[in-house]
């Protein structure tokens, strides 16, 4: 049994810490800052065994060099991106073993936010960086709408109870947008209520899960009639494919 806990960094990043059953080791995902990771390790008396990187952005990699120097963890990252400290290069289909955690993780290629973005998936948990957010998705900095739509479709095909560990606390603003697209979605209304309670208590709204995202996330619902109609209204024309619908609502969100 692996326990997953968040470490906060910057204004809204989470660095997810995977703790092994004997509570000796932690692996971390996307350490943008070393300081809060070191505090967490000291507080919980854990040794940093692995660093897993999803993509090259600084808010996900800024702490890598100093953590590698201090702790010598195994370092993994996407094969096609430029990253600090030469990680083991991963592509879709690869599997990695975290022996300390008795955990196997499979790699998924998720181009869209960046060109080489990957996710780690195993034991019913998904670490998807800036690709899928609760009720939202990452901006298209390096990829096309086609690529991002395909990447999100891969994630939507995972079992519904898969826990989704995204890297940012964007849920509240994402829900505001999702409600503008789909005001009458009862699952979304319910989720808004819960998210507000969590945030009022300064608690995370993550992890989410794939079932909930399929019910509430407009970017996973591009073939639903409600989303299609809203996207058509936004675009001022009839959009003829789920990718066109995705592209329209992504554009809409960018200027929301």
Point out the residues that are catalytic: 55, 57, 59-60, 113, 130, 168
C-beta closer to Fe ion: residue 147 or 192: 147
As measured in angstroms, the least distance from the Cβ of 235 to Fe ion is: 28
C-beta closer to Fe ion: residue 33 or 130: 130
Which DSSP helix (H) or strand (E) runs through 96? strand 95-98
Instruction: Assess whether the previous peptide bond of 79 is cis (omega < 30° from 0).
Output: no
As measured in angstroms, the least distance from the Cβ of 133 to Fe ion is: 10
Q: Residue 71 binds which entry of Zn ion, Fe ion, none, with Cβ cut-offs from 5 to 8 Å by kind?
A: none
10 Å CB burial of residue 220 (0-12, 13-18, 19+) is: buried
CA 134 to chain centre: 8
User: x-or-dash pattern for Zn ion, window 192-231, by CB under 5 A?
Assistant: ----------------------------------------
- DSSP, collapsed to helix, strand or coil, labels residue 106 as strand
Which 27-66 positions form the footprint of Zn ion (CB under 5 A)?
Answer: 57
12 Ramachandran zone, left/alpha/beta (phi>0; psi -120 to 50): alpha
As measured in angstroms, the least distance from the Cβ of 197 to Zn ion is: 28
Which pair of structure tokens corresponds to residue 20? 């092994």
Size of the site for Zn ion (CB under 5 A): 2
C-beta closer to Fe ion: residue 20 or 109: 109
The candidate with the shortest Cα–Cα distance to 36, out of 58, 67, 57, is: 67
Q: Residue 30 binds which entry of Fe ion, Zn ion, none, with Cβ cut-offs from 5 to 8 Å by kind?
A: none
As measured in angstroms, the least distance from the Cβ of 179 to Fe ion is: 24
Binding site for Fe ion (CB under 5 A): 59, 130
Nearby residues of 62 by Cβ (< 8 Å), 6 or more positions away: 31, 32, 33, 34
The alpha-carbon radius of gyration of the chain (Å, integer) is: 18
User: x-or-dash pattern for Zn ion, window 113-152, by CB under 5 A?
Assistant: -----------------x----------------------
Residues lying near Zn ion in the complex (CB under 5 A): 57, 130
């Amino acid at each position: 049994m692996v326990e997953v806990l968040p470490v906060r960094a910057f204004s809204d990043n989470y660095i997810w810490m995977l703790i092994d059953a004997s509570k000796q080791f932690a692996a971390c995902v996307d350490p943008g800052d070393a300081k809060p990771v070191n505090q967490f390790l000291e507080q919980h008396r854990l040794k940093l065994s692995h660093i897993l990187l999803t993509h090259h952005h600084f808010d996900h990699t800024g702490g890598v060099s100093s953590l590698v120097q201090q702790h010598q963890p195994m370092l993994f990252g996407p094969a096609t991106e430029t990253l600090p400290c030469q990680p083991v290069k991963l592509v879709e289909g690869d599997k990695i073993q975290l022996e300390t955690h008795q955990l196997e993780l499979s790699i998924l290629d998720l181009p869209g936010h960046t060109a080489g973005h990957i996710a780690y998936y195993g034991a019913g948990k998904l670490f998807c960086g800036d690709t899928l957010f609760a009720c939202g998705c990452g901006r298209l900095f390096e990829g096309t709408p086609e690529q991002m739509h395909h990447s999100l479709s891969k994630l939507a095909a995972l079992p519904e109870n898969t826990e989704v560990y995204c890297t940012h606390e964007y849920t509240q603003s994402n829900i505001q947008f999702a409600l503008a697209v789909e005001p009458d979605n009862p699952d979304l209304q319910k989720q808004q209520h819960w998210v507000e309670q969590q945030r009022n208590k300064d608690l995370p709204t993550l992890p989410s899960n794939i079932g909930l995202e399929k019910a509430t996330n407009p970017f996973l619902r591009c073939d639903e009639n409600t989303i299609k109609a809203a996207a058509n209204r936004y675009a001022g024309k009839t959009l003829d494919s789920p990718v066109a619908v995705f592209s329209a609502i992504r554009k809409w969100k960018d200027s929301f």
